[in-house]
Chain A
Amino acid sequence: MPRGVTEISRKIYDLHMEIFWVCVAIAVVVFGAMIWSIITYRKSRGAIPDGTLVHNTKVEVIWTVVPVFILIAMAVPAARTLVEIEDTTKTELTIKVTGFQWGWNYDYLDQGVSYYSRLDRRSDAARELLSGIDPHTVDHYLLNVDHPLVVPVDTKVRLLITAADVIHSWWVPALGVKKDAIPGFVNEAWFKVDPDKPGLYRGQCAELCGRDHAFMPIVVDVRSKAEFAAWLKEKAARAQAAAPPAAPAVTPSAAPAAPTTASRATAS
């Protein structure tokens, strides 16, 4: 698991490692006892069974109660992190993410910028059955898109995640975010990338969504605040110019067949 580039992703990573080592410690004790028995108490070594050893209330209470405490010790930091993850207040930028078969639509709600993001052409050509193109020669095979999601560093970005057709799931490991995109629901997630970690972060759809489920990657292009502002300004200007005069500047756009009328916010 990547440590990631947000505070939350690092906390998740630390939780993961903590549980992992707890499991390793338990495994050493339990497997140790099993291996010890297997080696020591072999019939071939003349071991005589101790038929009286069938019950011991003290031991049984101990190995019921001790795990409860270990579990509580694991649950507390997990619950604390979860509360933080669920805190979607004080966000500074809101982007609506709509999954569709098979790609993503990103909609910067307050700026009127909206575009589609699909598998890049090189991967798309190479992934055909018996394409004859060696995937190793393709840059970021299956993890590259034509238009990445562009966000600024050090900004609490809120994602409003939904879907146009079937259920998808927006997953970028380095950001510690995975949230299902469900038609008719709007799910919330957020991330805040460290100030010193601009760059490209990649992920994939994580919920089976049909034939091309494997071919709808996610790329997040994290830029400095100034670069992001410039990019957004240019995008907004272009969107304005492209929009027909009668249409409102901000079009709540979604994927082609989005049943927007049925949208029902259930986010907590």
Chain B
Amino acid sequence: MAELLAPAASHDHDHKPHGWRRWVYATNHKDIGTMYLVFACTMFFIGGFMAILIRLELFKPGLQFFDPQFFNSMTTMHALIMIFGAVMPAWTGLANWMIPMQIGAPDMALPRLNNFSFWILPFAFTLLLSSLFVPGGAPAGGWTMYPPLVLQTGASFPILIFSIHLMGASSILGAINVIVTIVNMRAPGMTLLRMPLFVWTWLITAYLLIAVMPVLAGAVTMLLTDHFFGTTFFTAAGGGDPVMFQHIFWFFGHPEVYILILPAFGIVSEVVPTFSRKPLFGYEAMVYAVASIAFLSFIVWAHHMFTVGMPLAAQLFFMLSTMLIAVPTGVKVFNWTATMWKGSLSFEPPMLFALAFLFLFTVGGFSGLMLAIVPADYQYQDSYFVVAHFHYVLVPGAVFGIMAGVYYWLPKWTGRMYDLKLATWHFWLSAIFVNVLFFPQHFLGLAGMPRRIPDYAVQFTDWNMVSSIGAFGFGLAQLLFPYIIWKCARSGEHVGKKAWEGAHGLEWELPSPPPYHSWITPPSDAVIARGAEH
């Protein structure tokens, strides 16, 4: 499949490696982007398979399939794989493909670094997955790795820590590349406020990554020395503080959730105008809103831990700062709505996914607002209500954003149109099942079901069954996704430069598929201005 996604390159005379060398020695942004996306898709299915196992065990009360320890491993691994293996690499893959094309550059600024940052990932995740086979099983202390529990992990403990170091290194290198590319490689005339929002959101995301991944690396390194070298950073018996880990972790963790969602904001801001045939409403406000969300993400971390027993003043501060995030987020949702207002809408698959994003991400935003209210949070914290909340922002949020992006740009990458009917089926099945899967989890949480449990009291049975059925349906529907891409790359109808009637932006000024080195001569100012009609 990967070969088929390659640009038709018969007309250029670059000496570029072929066969396996093309991928192992890859320095081309499109090849590396493709590898990132294929890797992310693979991880999405591995992590998804774990989710199916989780929902299988939760279909009925009583333990039918797994030991509780294995169940805990599944929840832990599912989260790590989906966050670090599926969503983050998918965004980096899209950044690799699109940023040079969107800013009028020939390639990413640092191609060998690009190669390195990708090739770390297969090793990191092979390592992490290998922990399933070591004595004591895979890590089971939750992806949040709270000590002292995580220090009880068996032989897989150093594997967990080292694979996280590798993932973090990969992310930092990728982020450096994005920043350097955007800052230095823009075509003359591509001013900052002419950049497409996908580029803007990625620029801000990259800064978040550089700011917080080292914090995570530091936190897990302290866990490592606590475990092996007798330090007591997080052990009360030695004068350490287990709550300190949570503060450090969530100082990374909250910006991290925006790392997962901000590029989706960018994609929706590209897709909605295209299929509304109208420029984005309030472009500058959108840029400032993303920047303020990113800033606020650094001062809200403790809302993940309201029940640890913080001083009243701290709880009030984190409640108010968290509620404040609703303001720029609201601005974004209102602007997207205003973009559709008095437009001329059509409903191709990327638009469908973007619309589902608008509705369902907003639902996740509402539950997020509820969670900010500290007294109510005492009841929601660590219940299925939280599980419903973050899956609403991550699945119909981040994942649907990725799907919208892939369906939007796939014709550009391959020069071929995919089966629109089948993709529409993929959309409707996903959109329906994702709600069957996650909406009942709100009810379960409010009814008092804690998260991360393999077995539950019988009054939770009905909604768990519904949720599991939704999971099976959602999982099956996703199999359509790689099939649609494969079919498109093989036998889709050829498309011209501009695959969508209402599309704007530099990528649509290049042929489909684009040449090996995207913009060898920078686009003229007139072309840039035409693309930047926002």
Residues in chain A within 8 A of chain B (CB atoms): 1-2, 8, 11-12, 15-16, 19-20, 23, 26-27, 30-31, 33-34, 37-38, 41-44, 47-51, 53-56, 59-60, 63-64, 67-68, 71, 74-75, 78-79, 81-83, 85-86, 126-131, 133-136, 140-143, 165-167, 169, 171, 173, 176-180, 182-185, 187-188, 203-215, 259, 261-264, 266-268
A47–B344 CB distance below 8 A = yes
Q: How many A-B residue pairs have CB under 8 A?
A: 280
Q: How far is the CB of A83 from chain B (nearest CB, A)?
A: 7
Q: How far is the CB of A148 from chain B (nearest CB, A)?
A: 16
Known A41-B341, A214-B455; judge A206-B382 contact (CB<8 A): yes
Produce 1/0 per residue, B476-505, CB < 8 A to A: 000000000000000000000000000000
Residues 97-149 of B at the A interface (beta carbon under 8 Å): 140-142, 146, 148-149
A20 to B371, CA, bound (A): 11
A89 to B344, CA, bound (A): 63
The residues of B that contact A16 with a CB separation of less than 8 Å are 370, 373, 376, 379
Known A37-B345, A43-B344, A47-B345; judge A262-B236 contact (CB<8 A): yes
A101 to B320, CA, bound (A): 35
- B254 on interface, CB distance cutoff 8 Å: no
The segment from B4-12, B176-184, B199-207, B274-282 that touches chain A is B274-282
The residues of B that contact A30 with a CB separation of less than 8 Å are 333-334, 337, 362
A158 to B66, CA, bound (A): 39
Known A78-B376, A85-B375; judge A127-B369 contact (CB<8 A): no
B316–A79 CB distance below 8 A = yes
A64–B327 CB distance below 8 A = yes
Chain B residue nearest to A261 in the complex (CB)? B237
A75 to B322, CA, bound (A): 11
8 examples of A-B residue contacts, CB within 8 angstroms: A43-B277, A43-B345, A60-B331, A182-B242, A183-B242, A184-B236, A206-B381, A210-B72
Complex partner residue of A12 from B312, B343, B376, B534, CB under 8 angstroms: B376
- B355 on interface, CB distance cutoff 8 Å: yes
B327–A167 CB distance below 8 A = no
B309–A267 CB distance below 8 A = yes
The residues of A that contact B448 with a CB separation of less than 8 Å are 2, 173, 203-204
The residues of A that contact B242 with a CB separation of less than 8 Å are 167, 182-185
A74–B373 CB distance below 8 A = yes
Produce 1/0 per residue, B382-404, CB < 8 A to A: 11000000000000000000000
The residues of B that contact A78 with a CB separation of less than 8 Å are 319, 373-376
The residues of B that contact A42 with a CB separation of less than 8 Å are 344-346
Chain A residue nearest to B279 in the complex (CB)? A54
A135 to B455, CA, bound (A): 10
The residues of A that contact B285 with a CB separation of less than 8 Å are 60
The residues of B that contact A210 with a CB separation of less than 8 Å are 72, 140-141, 149, 152
Chain B residue nearest to A36 in the complex (CB)? B341
The residues of A that contact B425 with a CB separation of less than 8 Å are none
A41–B359 CB distance below 8 A = no
- B216 on interface, CB distance cutoff 8 Å: no
Count how many chain B residues have C-beta atoms less than 8 Å from C-beta atoms of the other chain.
91
Nearest 6 Cβ contacts at the A-B interface: A184-B236, A214-B453, A187-B309, A37-B340, A50-B342, A23-B366
The residues of A that contact B334 with a CB separation of less than 8 Å are 30, 63
- B358 on interface, CB distance cutoff 8 Å: yes
The residues of A that contact B511 with a CB separation of less than 8 Å are none
Residues 251-297 of B at the A interface (beta carbon under 8 Å): 276-283, 285
Produce 1/0 per residue, B160-173, CB < 8 A to A: 00000000000000
The residues of B that contact A131 with a CB separation of less than 8 Å are 62-63
Known A50-B278, A209-B149, A267-B309; judge A27-B366 contact (CB<8 A): yes
A171–B282 CB distance below 8 A = no
A171 to B66, CA, bound (A): 26
B373–A140 CB distance below 8 A = no
- B247 on interface, CB distance cutoff 8 Å: no
Complex partner residue of A53 from B278, B319, B369, CB under 8 angstroms: B278
Residues in chain B within 8 A of chain A (CB atoms): 61-69, 72, 140-142, 146, 148-149, 152, 235-238, 241-243, 276-283, 285, 307-312, 315-316, 319-320, 323-324, 326-327, 330-331, 333-335, 337-338, 340-346, 355, 358-359, 362-363, 366, 369-370, 373-376, 378-379, 381-383, 446-448, 450-458, 534
A140–B379 CB distance below 8 A = no
A129–B369 CB distance below 8 A = no
A166–B149 CB distance below 8 A = yes
A183–B236 CB distance below 8 A = yes
A211 to B324, CA, bound (A): 38
Q: How far is the CB of B18 from chain A (nearest CB, A)?
A: 44
B277–A12 CB distance below 8 A = no
B309–A188 CB distance below 8 A = yes
Q: How far is the CB of B147 from chain A (nearest CB, A)?
A: 8
B379–A23 CB distance below 8 A = no
A60 to B237, CA, bound (A): 54
Q: How far is the CB of A185 from chain B (nearest CB, A)?
A: 7
A41–B345 CB distance below 8 A = yes
A54 to B273, CA, bound (A): 10
A2 to B65, CA, bound (A): 32
Complex partner residue of A127 from B62, B148, B235, B376, CB under 8 angstroms: B62
- Supplied contacts A31-B362, A74-B373, A262-B238, 8 more A-B pairs, CB within 8 Å: A15-B375, A19-B369, A43-B346, A64-B330, A67-B327, A207-B382, A262-B236, A264-B236
A37 to B447, CA, bound (A): 36
B342–A135 CB distance below 8 A = no
Complex partner residue of B331 from A31, A64, A85, A185, CB under 8 angstroms: A64
